[in-house]
Amino acid sequence: MSHEISPTVPADSSVQRSMPELSEEEAETYAWQLDVRDFGVAGQARLKASSVLISRVGGIGSVVAYELAAAGVGHLILAHAGAIQRSDLNRQLLMTAARIGSSRVDCAASRLQEFNPRLRITAIPENVGPENAERLVGLADCIVDAAPLFQERLAMNDAAAAQGKPVVEAAMFELEATLTVIHPPKTPGFRDLVADVPPGWQRRFPVFGAVSGAVGCLAALEAIKILSGFAQPLYNKLLRIDLRAMRVETIQLRPDCPGAENDTGSPSPLRR
């Protein structure tokens, strides 16, 4: 069961789309980012025409959703099961204390809609799994994976690979985070990096909201770069962030993948 708020653009990413015009209100709202080099009105129009699936709007995903709503992505599909718990509130910035016990994804959708009334939101009170991954991935041009379970990530990446869609992979633990983009063949497949589920894995882990917020902002920027087709997404590279020591390392993944060839910019996956 899902519900929609404020439909404004078609969701089917397989449909040939012409880029939408920006309204005066949108031009004013995004005036500061329209001046970003290589982005401009064309990049903004691509964002407006694009859709992003965010798997879980928790610590990382809530910040991803907020930043994509701010940037002017046209359609967000939010997938997250369950009700708000008090222990969510150190990091899940779209949740509120007043709504503890109510649906996470509904709270996130209402906060985002308040922030950006033009945004189309599909709120799905489910976590991504093998039974729904194909359907949910099919709704979006790009996926941001912020799930804490291997099974969710594997199912979503399998569906994304089958549909040829890019996945921004963001993860954290304590004061560490990793970020990469999975989009074969210019990157390894997720199963090339994570073949199977490790034994003994636990969903709960120590983290500050500032850490999930930091990696969430970076993940949102990767989605913006991919969708608008500018700058250099982390194709075939993994960003490792150690916020305890304030170290950042870019790790080359497979040398036989052509991801590095995209260093001068990459085309948007939107058909036009």
Partner 1 sequence: MADSSPITLELTGALERVIGRSHVTLHCSQEQPATELFRRLLHEYPALKLYLGRHDGDDSERFSWPRGFLLVRDSQMLPSSPDTIVYPGDRLTLIQMISGGVA
Q: Which residues bind partner 1 (CB under 8 A)?
A: 60, 146-150, 153, 169, 171-174, 176, 178, 192-207, 238, 240, 242, 249-255
Give the nearest distance from C-beta 24 to partner 1 in angstroms: 41
For the chain, first and last CA: distance in Å? 31
Give the nearest distance from C-beta 196 to partner 1 in angstroms: 5
Give the nearest distance from C-beta 60 to partner 1 in angstroms: 7
Residue 117 or 258: which CB sits closer to partner 1? 258
Residue 162 or 251: which CB sits closer to partner 1? 251
103 phi, psi to nearest 5 deg? -60, 130
Residue 100 or 194: which CB sits closer to partner 1? 194
Give the nearest distance from C-beta 242 to partner 1 in angstroms: 8
Give the nearest distance from C-beta 169 to partner 1 in angstroms: 8
Residue 153 or 186: which CB sits closer to partner 1? 153
Residue 63 or 238: which CB sits closer to partner 1? 238
The partner residues of 177 in beta bridges, in order of sequence, read 172, 241
